[in-house]
Amino acid sequence: MTQTPEAQEINLRIPGPTPVPAAVLQAMARPMIDHRGPEFAAILARVTDGLKYFFQTSADILCFPAAGSGAMEAAVVNLFSPGDPVAAVTIGAFGNRFAKIAETFGASVTRIEFPWGQAANTQTVLERLADIAGLRGILLTHNETSTGVTNNVQALASAIRAQYPDVLIAVDAVSSLSCIDLRMDEWDLDVVFTGSQKGWMVPPGLAMIAVSPRAWKANQQARLPRMYWDFAWAKRSLDKGQTPYTPPVSIFFGLDASLEMMRAEGREAIFARHQAIGELTRRRARELGLELLADPAFASNTVTAIKIPQGIEVKALRKALREQDHVVIAGGQEQLEGKIVRVGHLGYVHQPEINAAMDALERQLVALGYQLPSPARQR
Amino acid sequence: MTQTPEAQEINLRIPGPTPVPAAVLQAMARPMIDHRGPEFAAILARVTDGLKYFFQTSADILCFPAAGSGAMEAAVVNLFSPGDPVAAVTIGAFGNRFAKIAETFGASVTRIEFPWGQAANTQTVLERLADIAGLRGILLTHNETSTGVTNNVQALASAIRAQYPDVLIAVDAVSSLSCIDLRMDEWDLDVVFTGSQKGWMVPPGLAMIAVSPRAWKANQQARLPRMYWDFAWAKRSLDKGQTPYTPPVSIFFGLDASLEMMRAEGREAIFARHQAIGELTRRRARELGLELLADPAFASNTVTAIKIPQGIEVKALRKALREQDHVVIAGGQEQLEGKIVRVGHLGYVHQPEINAAMDALERQLVALGYQLPSPARQR
């Protein structure tokens, strides 16, 4: 068996999977039920309703047994046809993945890239869009998990919509939704998706995707092949209180329980908690004399990317934190591997876990020869 | 919260999701861990090893966060290119789904259909295959969940392979693997897939797919677009002890625990238990004077489809069983809706649950006006 005492004490500070509250774990330990029966239909309806509150939408929300990358693929194949001109605004690894999926499936993709650590600049985006004939869709990242940067989707979408009233705006909100304000209807977004293992305090395995009326219209014309991800099939099933194929029942049990907790706390209170936690994390990092990767104006309240000074091996640092302090943080991806660490602070997170993680980071940095700045050394 | 006392007592007799042992539910209630860390790598290696034992293969096995239908799509997009001549041997709803996915993605599909309740006839299949120029692949169902029929995949594959040495044989073993003998290597199959919520005694959310060397070779040439389902990406990650995107961690915890239980029981003992349970279910149904849908020579040991006599409303019967007896059975799909019920007996199942379910079925049939045959009436 895999149960270890250590596992119980881990301070899991990666940007997903995130810690799951005991009440949610307990809800998930329920015996299986019939996924075509009345009880599951009631859970599906309740969960969908709770999701709408956090997506701030009256649009349809569809749930797929999948990781967040599956939701990216679903957005692409449900909106577009081969050759459709699509702009992919990318500020990091997950923006690149979204772009690559659209390319793989045959859209004509223009990548609008920004340096890792920066947010997308609205003016630059508009200038680049002007070069694209017959623009059909735009792929945006709300919160880029690889860099700890949150785009101003409201400003981007508003500027884009003013010039392209019919363009399809698809937003990767995997690591932001429910933690950082995102108003699907007010900002006039078309497809918005997230994953259960991020802000929702539930294990991974479920992707949730909202589909605007404009996206539904596009879906009828979109000719990319699809079956598993087909929005129309999912919607026909949802209207009967079902899913097209077997749903991840235990994840639904968990999400049902976590949404109840989250609604009790309230949307705005959760946003405020994440803002406070984000600020705390950044302050603690700066006090250690460490530089943050993200442009301060766009620093994410769900994940913080911290530059690690040359001479300190990130792999050794993470290993020491994991083995000695039971603090688990993420490394950098692709071009940032070995250069940064990432501290996740989304979902079920409060000040003590962040302080414990940053205390441990301080200790291990010092153990690896890092010189603290004077004020921090006096702590 | 959704916990109800009733849920604890349900006799869940649908062909998946299947009941989950308490030890597995408990294993799943563990806190989350880092899916990129050493502990998850160890679980992934252990689970893969356990799966190989039940697939009876030394081929690679890849795990995707998905339902069984996702594995169907993965098989199609990883093996074929647009226009590839593919034969889909279908004996029911899930065979049709497999065929439809191949059609949707642009293969040139010849459907070889058999009446629902019958198994595929090897001679007929060979005759139909002879009409297909440049045959590239064959889609087979091992156990057809909609009709309770188990194809003789060994005979089919052997006859096909003798005439088509290079053809790709893809087998849907979603509701049979680990319960009914299937020897991937010995029978020379190329892609074989299953789902966590069937014989594996784990909640839904994970699809497991084995890929033969012949399938890997085909994969390099296959041009259907793929990203989420890409075997090559999954394999590159697996070699590093990871998955391409966030895996359903809690399902892995459960599968790790269930595989330990299953290996302790042993492959052959599990097959024998399912055979005995299958025979018991069929005997009990016949004793009630009910007709079985499946050709007796190919009756499934994981699910039994029972014809319901005219005049008895299946919906009312299932509702009474659910509400009064806490026995949950499935109805018929598509053309069989209202005509049959299906009793699932796979995974964590023993005689008492089947006897309780069949006792309840007898009581409710009588309550709905059904006349039992004389011997059964004396029970």
B37: DSSP letter: S
Query: In the CATH scheme, what is the code of domain B5-18+266-370?
Result: 3.90.1150.10
Query: Sheet holding B303-307: strands in order across?
Result: B11-13, B327-331, B340-344, B303-307
CA distance B49 to B377: 50
- Residue B95 to chain A, least CA–CA distance (Å): 14
Q: Which residues of chain A have a CB within 8 Å of the CB of B73?
A: 227-228
Q: Which CATH class is domain A5-18+267-377?
A: alpha beta
**Which phi-psi region, left, alpha or beta, contains residue B245 (left: φ > 0; alpha: ψ -120 to 50)?**
beta
Q: Which residues of chain A have a CB within 8 Å of the CB of B227?
A: 69, 73, 100-101, 104-105
Q: What is the pTM of this model?
A: 0.97
Cα separations in angstroms, A367 against A307, A357, B66, B371: 17, 15, 43, 81
What is the H or E stretch that residue B211 is in?
Answer: strand B206-211
> CA of B202: which chain A residue's CA is closest?
A32
Q: CA geometry: angle at B207 spanning B154 and B190, to 5°?
A: 35
Q: Is the model's pLDDT at A229 over the cut of 80?
A: yes
Q: Which residues of chain B have a CB within 8 Å of the CB of A322?
A: 34, 37
Mutual orientation of helices A249-265 and A38-55 as an angle, nearest 10°?
Answer: 40
The model's pLDDT over A108-130, given as tens digits with 9 standing for 90+, comes to 999 999 999 999 999 999 999 99
Tell me the residues of chain A between 318 and 337 that have a Cβ less than 8 Å away from chain B: 322, 328, 330
Q: Is the model's pLDDT at B36 over the cut of 60?
A: yes
Mutual orientation of helices A122-129 and A153-163 as an angle, nearest 10°?
Answer: 30
CA distance B196 to B204: 5
CA distance B160 to B158: 5
Domain positions in chain A are 5-18+267-377, 22-263
Q: Which pLDDT band holds residue A9 (cuts at 50, 70, 90)?
A: confident
| Residues A141/A172, Cβ–Cβ less than 8 Å | yes
Q: Which pLDDT band holds residue A100 (cuts at 50, 70, 90)?
A: very high
- Considering only the beta carbons, identify the residue of B33, B104, B245 that sits closest to A67: B245
CA quadruple A103, A208, A305, A365: dihedral sign: negative
Asked if B18's CB is within 8 angstroms of A43's CB, the reply is no
Q: Which pLDDT band holds residue A374 (cuts at 50, 70, 90)?
A: confident
Asked if A14's CB is within 8 angstroms of B31's CB, the reply is no
Asked if A26's CB is within 8 angstroms of B29's CB, the reply is yes
Mean pLDDT of A309-331: 97
Q: Which pLDDT band holds residue B376 (cuts at 50, 70, 90)?
A: low
Q: Which residues of chain B have a CB within 8 Å of the CB of A34?
A: 12, 14, 17, 322, 328, 330
Q: Which residues of chain B have a CB within 8 Å of the CB of A27?
A: 1-3
Residue B198 contacts A where some CB pair is shorter than 8 Å: no
Q: Is the model's pLDDT at B378 over the cut of 80?
A: no
Asked if B33's CB is within 8 angstroms of A227's CB, the reply is no
> Which ipTM value was assigned to this complex?
0.96
| Residues A359/A289, Cβ–Cβ less than 8 Å | no
| Residues B196/B280, Cβ–Cβ less than 8 Å | no
- Considering only the beta carbons, identify the residue of A10, A197, A228 that sits closest to B246: A197
- Considering only the beta carbons, identify the residue of A16, A18, A32 that sits closest to B12: A32
Q: What are the two backbone dihedrals, phi and then psi, of residue B118, each rounded to the nearest 5 degrees?
A: -100, 155
| Residues B315/B330, Cβ–Cβ less than 8 Å | no
The model's pLDDT over B245-272, given as tens digits with 9 standing for 90+, comes to 999 999 999 999 999 999 999 999 999 9
Q: Which CATH class is domain A22-263?
A: alpha beta
B140-165 b/e with 16+ CB inside 10 Å = b? bbbbbbbbbbbbbbeebbebbbeebe
Residue B245 contacts A where some CB pair is shorter than 8 Å: yes
Q: Which pLDDT band holds residue B5 (cuts at 50, 70, 90)?
A: very low
Number of CB pairs, chain A paired with chain B, less than 8 A apart = 214
Asked if A249's CB is within 8 angstroms of B204's CB, the reply is yes
CA distance B112 to B91: 9
Tell me the residues of chain B between 61 and 120 that have a Cβ less than 8 Å away from chain A: 65-70, 73, 100-101, 104-106
Same fold for the pair B5-18+266-370 and B22-263: no
Residue B197 contacts A where some CB pair is shorter than 8 Å: yes
Asked if A30's CB is within 8 angstroms of B2's CB, the reply is yes
Helix (H, G, I), strand (E, B) or coil at A110: strand
| Residues A354/A277, Cβ–Cβ less than 8 Å | yes
Q: Which pLDDT band holds residue B374 (cuts at 50, 70, 90)?
A: confident
Q: Is the model's pLDDT at B64 over the cut of 90?
A: yes
Cα separations in angstroms, B5 against A377, B2, B10: 56, 10, 9
Q: Is the model's pLDDT at A155 over the cut of 80?
A: yes
Asked if A226's CB is within 8 angstroms of B65's CB, the reply is no
Helix (H, G, I), strand (E, B) or coil at B193: strand
Q: Is the model's pLDDT at B7 over the cut of 70?
A: no
Q: Which residue has the tokens 């119980």?
A: A8
Q: Is the model's pLDDT at A92 over the cut of 80?
A: yes
Residue A17 contacts B where some CB pair is shorter than 8 Å: yes
